[in-house]
Amino acid sequence: MLSAAFPNDRGDIRLFSPALDKRRALGYNGGMKVDQSVEDYLETILLLSQSAEQVHRADVARRLGVSLPAVTKAVRKLCDMDYVRTEGMHIHLTESGLARAREIYGKHVDIARFLVSLGVAGDVAERDACLMEHVVSEQTYAAIRSYLKGADAT
């Protein structure tokens, strides 16, 4: 079991061990619990909408490897959050949903580019970015973006 001690912003030392508290590790983003499922659905709807005129629930289910009832439940939640609207079996991102989806996807792209720049294979970087985009802190993400800007300038 690996664990390490890291100082927080106040200089306090905090023990970090994923085996001790997975929820703390997953809730690291801004101190709020990250709803990875919502973000995955938004990102998937965005990507599907870029290649098709209409996004169908069945396409979302197929892309995420989930059941149609799972998509229906998630879409209800996304509607409640004002991220999507529906017309029959079609799903459309609202203005706020589109903005959030672009933010999530942008983070994914940046993290994947960062990992590739470190020598990680493209397919591995893509898989890792899918996981990391949900839990990376704003401070770490800002550092990644800064690094990428510097790398782009050279």
Q: What is the pLDDT of residue 73?
A: 93
118 shares its domain with 81: no
Determine phi and psi for 18, rounding to 5 degrees. -55, -35
Domain that includes residue 130, residue range: 103-153
Which H or E run includes 26?
helix 22-26
Judgement on whether residues 94 and 132 belong to the same structural domain of the protein: no
Range 131-134 contact pairs with CB under 8 angstroms and sequence separation of 24 or more: 133/39, 133/104, 133/107, 133/108, 134/26, 134/29, 134/34, 134/36, 134/39
Please identify which residue in the block is written with the tokens 């892309």. Answer: 63
Residue 23 resides in a domain: no
Q: Rounded to two decimals, what is the model's pTM?
A: 0.73
Q: In angstroms, rounded to a whole number, what is the distance separating the alpha carbons of residues 76 and 69?
A: 11
Do 95 and 42 reside in the same domain of the chain? yes
Over the stretch 25-83, which tens digit does the pLDDT of each residue have? 444 434 334 388 899 999 999 999 999 989 999 999 999 999 999 999 999 999 999 99
Query: pLDDT tens across 78-130, in order?
Result: 999 999 999 988 999 999 999 999 999 999 999 999 999 999 999 999 999 99
CATH of the domain at 77: 1.10.10.10
Name the β-bridge partners of 4: 16
Half-sphere exposure of 44 (CA within 13 A, CB side): 23
